[in-house]
Amino acid sequence: MNKRLWIWFLVFMLLSGGCQVREDAAGYGADIKKAQEIAVIPFGETQETKVLTEEAEIEAFAQGLELETWVWKPLPDQAATLGTFCFSQAETQKLWQSSPEKLRQVGVLTLYAGGYVRLTLHDLTLDFAIGEDAAAHLAGYLA
């Protein structure tokens, strides 16, 4: 009986060991800064109205997010979408390619009224409450 308990305990520990989710967004800054293009799409638009491609623009965008102030919080049911930011990177260059052929979308940041965002990176979706300064920074790109 004692042996079975140990086996179940070890199985539980192995399965739960990889299920750690960050409760703040500060760790995602490196992922956002890796973007080579950020497309800005205001709510109601079908095409991007602005595209950030310069490294300095992307760095300024990431700094204005103030990721260290974001707190994991569920999105309110009636939250109104204000706009979307799509992050793209070049595909990994293969040995036989002279340069990467196209960009692929790696993440999406959706801004909601009331200071909420939904961050989707690599099939992981998280909702955060953000500060007023970060919300104003993002809304400035959508204006």
pLDDT for the residue numbered 1: 58
Bridge partners (DSSP) listed for residue 83: 42, 111
Q: What is the dihedral of CA 89, 143, 130, 116, to 10 degrees?
A: -90
Rounded percentage of the chain residues whose pLDDT exceeds 90: 57
Range with the poorest average pLDDT among 6-15, 62-71, 76-85:
6-15
In this structure, are residues 54 and 66 in contact, taking their beta carbons and an 8 Å threshold? no
pLDDT tens string 51-78: 999 999 999 999 999 999 999 999 999 9
